[in-house]
Amino acid sequence: MRLSCEVNGERYEIDGVWEGESLLYVLRERLGLYGSKNACEQGECGSCSVYLDGVLVCSCLVLAGQAEGRRIVTVEGISGGEGLHPVQEAFVEAGAVQCGFCTPGLVVATHDLLSRNPDPTDAEIREALAGNLCRCTGYEKILDAVRLAAGRA
């Protein structure tokens, strides 16, 4: 099938897409956008989080066909141009990046949280990031990064 969608502000027509493949597969293997990670393939870890028409989703759970005519924003697209988004900068500054596998999903989830709530409490931060797993950290530096980004919003 042919998939027509907008990714990070750019229109794409992608031929040869199998209806059963995931949006994550399309993003990584067909478009070369490797920011979203393929970790659990079950929607449990959050490493593949993207926006689909402005809604945060696990792209491993979205069938490619469901993205037809829709707008997708990945971790590569949240800055809206050159340089890093303030959320990405905060993750770097706070030392919230270790192996980096979970980072794209955490950045997109943080971006989503702060777009809805620019001054979240610690409980709200924890709830917003509950769908994202990190195996390297104790999460404190991740929480510091979210607080830092919120302070700049």
CATH number at residue 115: 1.10.150.120
Asked if residue 9 and residue 50 are part of one domain, the reply reads: yes
Domain endpoint, select from 75, 108, 130: 75
Nearest by Cα to 61 from 45, 77, 79, 78:
45
Residue 23 and residue 49 in one domain = yes
Is there a domain that residue 80 lies in? no
For residues 71 and 104, membership in a common domain is answered with: no
Give pTM, 2 decimals. Answer: 0.95
> 64 and 9: one domain?
yes
Q: Are residues 70 and 126 in the same domain?
A: no
CA dist., res. 141 & res. 38, Å (int): 23
> What would the two tokens of residue 84 be?
């890093």
Q: What is the pLDDT of residue 82?
A: 83
User: Nearest CA to 111 among 68, 80, 71?
Assistant: 80
Q: Which residues of 126-147 are buried (b: 16+ CB within 10 A; e: fewer)?
A: eebbebbbbeebebebbbbbbe
Are 96 and 134 found together in one domain?
Answer: yes
The residue range of the domain holding 66 is 3-75
Residue-level pLDDT at 153 = 65
**Rounded Cα–Cα distance for residues 16 and 18 (Å):** 6
Q: Each residue's pLDDT tens digit in the chain (153 positions)?
A: 999 999 999 999 999 999 899 999 999 999 999 999 999 999 999 999 999 999 999 999 999 999 999 999 999 999 988 889 999 999 999 999 988 899 999 999 999 999 999 999 999 999 999 999 998 888 999 999 999 999 886
Of the residues 19, 53, 75, the one at which a domain ends: 75
Q: How many domains does the chain have?
A: 2
